[in-house]
Structure 1
Amino acid sequence: MNTIDIPTRDDVSPENQALFDKLKAGIGMVPNLYATFAHSEHALGNYLQLQNAKSSITGRAREVVNLVVSQVNDCAYCLAAHTVIGKMNGFSDEQILEIRAGTASFDPKFDALARLVKNIAVERGHADPALVDAFFAAGWTKANLVDTIMVIGDKIMTNYLHAITRVPVDFPAAPALRA
């Protein structure tokens, strides 16, 4: 059961109504989790600015971060959404499952990213120096490290919002990880 309702376009501020319209035009829907941000007059706009900000971590790399963090935080909503987005970015079902587990044996650079992100998320920011060194050795830069931390923060916000609100997942459920 939800702890908070999902606002409709009619329930939100004019600024959020415009954002709802933009989301609907761009992706065909207003995802329930995004709509939940609109309970605040400012949160949805602020979140979308963060999510759409310039970054050296884009596309497939961003999905590695999103999938790993969402798995660590056991966020059914974000795992479902990012499984769909991961497939749109060219990852196979098997690759997505492996990424969620914190590795990417199919790509050494993504493997270093996934391993570091899992460690950062599990250890709440206290990364193993050896994993940071491996990240750099795989070809990532200091800018990539800072931007990775930004993406981790982005995903933690949505993971926590879903954990607290339990809004219904409006994407196909992500498959369970195999033991």
Structure 2
Amino acid sequence: MSTFNIPKREEVSEANQAIFDQLEKQVGFVPNLYATYAHSENALKNYLDFSGAPSSLKAKEKEAVNLAVSQVNNCAYCLAAHTAIGKMNGYSDAQILELRQGKASFDSKLDALAQLAKNITENRGYTDQAVVANFFEAGWTKENLIDTISLVGDKTISNYINNTVKATLDFPAAPEL
């Protein structure tokens, strides 16, 4: 159960109302976690700008990171959302479950990415250098490394907000591992 109310459009600032309108057009609804960000005058815009910023990682690669990080941080909301988004990006149910565990036996390059995302998150940035070496050996670049770390931070923000406020799920719940 949510510890915070999910604000409705009329309960947020004009700037956040405009963002709600954009989300309605782009996504078809305002996800409850995003609406929760709107308790702050600035957090929703700041988060969307950060998460939507250009990256060397493609959408499908970002979802591999999002799934691994959200699993480590045990964020039910983000696991539900990124399971749905992962499917939209072409992952099968089995692949999504594997990515949540920080691995991808179906793709060696994604495997190195998922392992890195999991390791960064588990170790709070004190990443195992063997995992970093494996990442580079799989063909990733220094730019990809920095963008992955940024994405881990991006997803951790959402995970922490949800794990604190417990936004009501508006995506189908992710299956247990």
TM bin (shorter chain): over 0.9
Deviation digits for residues 40-82 of structure 1 (CA, Å, limit 9, x no counterpart): 0100000110011011112111000000000000000000000
Structure 2 partner of 1:107: 107
Q: Which runs of 4+ in 1 moved over 6 A?
A: none
1:13 is matched with which residue?
13
The letter of the residue matching 1:64 is A
Number of the residue aligned with 2:36: 36
Once the two structures are TM-superposed, the CA of residue 2 in structure 1 deviates from its matched residue by 2.0
- Partner of 2:78: helix, strand, or coil? helix
TM-score normalised by length of structure 2? 0.99
Equivalences for residues 22-101 of structure 1 within 5 A = 22-101=22-101
SS of corresponding position for 1:4: coil
One-letter amino acid of the structure 2 residue matched with residue 42 of structure 1 = N
SS in structure 1 opposite 2:91?
Answer: coil
Question: 1:129 aligns to what?
Answer: 129
User: Post-superposition shift, 1:3?
Assistant: 1.7
Between the aligned residues of both structures, percent identity stands at 60
**Taking structure 1 as the reference length, what is the TM-score of the superposition?**
0.98
Separation of aligned partners in 2, 1:117 and 1:11:
36
CA distance in 2, matches of 1:47, 1:134: 30
Cα RMSD between the aligned structures? 0.6
- Letter of the 1:59 counterpart: A
Post-superposition offset of 1:167: 1.2
Tell me the amino acid that sits aligned with residue 4 of structure 1: F
Query: How many equivalent residue pairs?
Result: 177
Query: 2:156 aligned with 1:156, yes or no?
Result: yes
Distance 1:58 1:155 in 2: 16
Code of the residue aligned with 1:95 in structure 2: it is: Q
AA of the residue aligned to 1:80: A
**Alpha-carbon shift at residue 116 of structure 1 (Å):** 1.1
Structure 1: 5+ residue runs without aligned partners? none
1:116 partnered with 2:116:
yes
Question: Structure 1 counterpart of 2:139, which letter?
Answer: G
Structure 2 SS opposite 1:139: coil
